[in-house]
Structure 1
Amino acid sequence: MSLLQIRNLRVEFDTAAGPFRALDGVDYTVEAGEVLAIVGESGSGKSVAMLAMMGLLPDSATVTADEMSFEGVDLRSLSTAQRRKVIGKDISMIFQEPIASLNPCFTVGFQLLETLKAHTDLNRRQRRDRVIELLTAVGIPEPERRVNAFPHQMSGGQCQRVMIAIATACHPKLLIADEPTTALDVTIQKQILDLLTGLQRDHGMGLIMITHDMGVVAETADRVVVQYQGKQMETADVLTLFEAPEHPYTRALLSALPENATGDRLPTVSDYTEAFASEQTEART
């Protein structure tokens, strides 16, 4: 039994201009201990898919799926209270822009304590000890002092580490990392990726890595889902994807990597428009 199974997921938003379909029939499978990368440019529906699975989309969204199960439990059948017991404990997510995700009015220690209070039976002293343990585990220096710091008193990399601590506080079975290295310098990016993959291996978690960075995909993923304009272009294990990509859009993404440049300029997706259009025409006939 797969840890997460989603089939034919569709998401449509009501807008002033009419219905807008953000996702059109995508599938995801994640096994325990596996790293699945969801890759594609901004607007391809990567984050929307995960928010839909977690029940975090606004009321203007209509979500349908043939299957949406976690450890064999149908997530669509859960009440709001039942879903809250799963989200944040068994399924956890690191959102984009850590400084924006943390509440500026509360210390990072308080925000960690909130998660532990909601999902564990630890007493006050045990929760405090667990907070220090978590901050230490994610590499925050002087955790006993930093527990009383506000988000604006910490760097972007430290805030991202706090978000990872919050997300892993209850040893989730599935962790979703949404663009976890955005706006961080290269050195910090490497540290954050090593931290995430280390935690994933140590605890045997399933990990979904949402990114548009093919370098991150190559370094972390076991399997890859490639999305474009709300549709799934290709799914493959990471070695197959890099060595023998089948879809023109996937080939365009890989060709845009600096190390794959063969001319005076980097190729763009538009350079593959003819092949991409031909592929779509064949799919419809």
Structure 2
Amino acid sequence: MALLTIRNMTVRFATSTGSFTAVDGIDVTVDKGEVLAIVGESGSGKSVSMLAAMGLLPDTATVTADEMSFDGQDLLRMTPRQRRRIIGREITMIFQEPIASLNPSFTTGYQIEEVLRFNAGLSKRAARARALELYRQVGIPDPEEKLKSYPHQMSGGQCQRVMIAMAIATNPRLLIADEPTTALDVTIQKQILDLLMKLQEQTGMALILITHDMGVVAETADRVQVQYKGKKMEEADVLTLFERPSHPYTRALLSALPENATGDRLPTVGSFLEPEVQP
């Protein structure tokens, strides 16, 4: 049985002139200990589908699904209070912009201790000790001092490590990482990805990695799901996807990789026509 199962999820947003569909009949499954990469260009519904699963979309969004379950528990039938026992504890998420995700008015130590006290029920002293342990685990230098630092006093890479520390604080069974390296330079990107994969291997948690970087996918994923304009185009294990992509959109994505260039210019994915959804 899959750890997370989503079947036929649709997300619509109300606007002043009507509504639009951001996610159109998406299916997502991830098994225990598996690394699933969800890939596609901006606007393909990658982040929205996972935010919908987390219950983090605004009131303007309407989410429907035939099934949304976590380890056999029906998320659709749960009350908000029941769902909060899972979201933020057993399922956690790292967001795209680390500095924007942290409150500038509080120290990073206060913020991670708040997570531990609320979601793990730790005392103030125990939360501080656990926060220090987590900062060491994710490789934040001088952790005692960094607990006292505000987000603007830390680099982007350090702030992302804080976000990772928060996400793993409750020993989640599923971690969703939404473009975790977008705002970071290339060197720091590799460090963050290496850290995520090391933590995933150590803890055995499942990992959903949302990205548009096919190079990252090749290095990290067990299985890949390709999305385009809110629909799933293709799903395959990582070797099959790179060696024998079956959908023209996937082939277009792969042909745009620099190493696959055959001339002076890279092919553009933007010229790709509306695809037919594969059965």
CA RMSD of aligned residues (A): 1.3
1:32 aligns with 2:19: no
Give secondary structure in 1 for the equivalent of 2:130: helix
Secondary structure of the residue that 2:84 maps to in structure 1?
Answer: helix
Q: Which has the higher helix share?
A: 1
Q: How many residue pairs align between the two structures?
A: 279
Deviation larger for 118-127 or 208-217? 118-127
Question: Can you list the C-alpha shifts for 1:101-132, whole angstroms capped at 9, x where unaligned?
Answer: 00000000000011101111322221111000
Structure 1 residue 17 displacement after superposition: 2.4
SS at the partner of 1:269? coil
Per the TM alignment, residue 270 of structure 1 is displaced from its structure 2 partner at its CA by: 4.3
Matched with 1:229 is: 229
Task: Output aligned runs, 1:15-54, within 5 Å.
Answer: 15-54=15-54
Instruction: Deviation per CA, 1:180-230: give whole Å up to 9, x if none.
Output: 010211110110001001111111000000000001100110000100000
Residues 1:110 and 2:110 aligned together? yes
Q: Is the 2:234–2:278 contact (alpha carbons within 8 Å) kept by the matching residues of 1?
A: no
> Are residue 245 (structure 1) and residue 245 (structure 2) matched?
yes
Partner of 1:174: 174
Cα offset, 1:271, TM superposition: 4.9
Which residue identity does 2:165 align to in structure 1? A
Match of 1:139 in 2: 139
Q: Residues 103 and 151 of structure 2 are in contact (CA less than 8 Å); yes or no, is this contact kept in structure 1?
A: yes
The separation in 2 between residues aligned to 1:246 and 1:283, in whole angstroms, is 9
Question: In the aligned structure 1, how far is the partner of 2:263 from the partner of 2:218?
Answer: 23
TM-score calculated relative to the size of structure 1: 0.95
1:52-67 correspondence to structure 2 within 5 Å:
52-67=52-67
Q: TM-score, normalised by structure 2?
A: 0.97
Matched to 1:244, the amino acid is R
AA in 1 matched with 2:257: L
Structure 1: segments with no counterpart, 5+ residues: none
- The residue identity in structure 1 corresponding to 2:173 is K
Q: CA deviation at 1:170?
A: 0.4
Q: Superposed, which structure 2 residues align to 1:177-256 within 5 Å?
A: 177-256=177-256
Work out whether residues 96 and 183 of structure 2, in 8 Å CA contact, stay in contact via their aligned partners in 1: no
Q: Counterparts of 1:43 and 1:283 in 2: how far apart (Å)?
A: 19
SS at 2:76 equivalent: helix
Identity over aligned residues, as a percent? 69
1:93 paired residue number: 93
Q: Any stretches of 5+ residues in structure 2 without a counterpart?
A: none
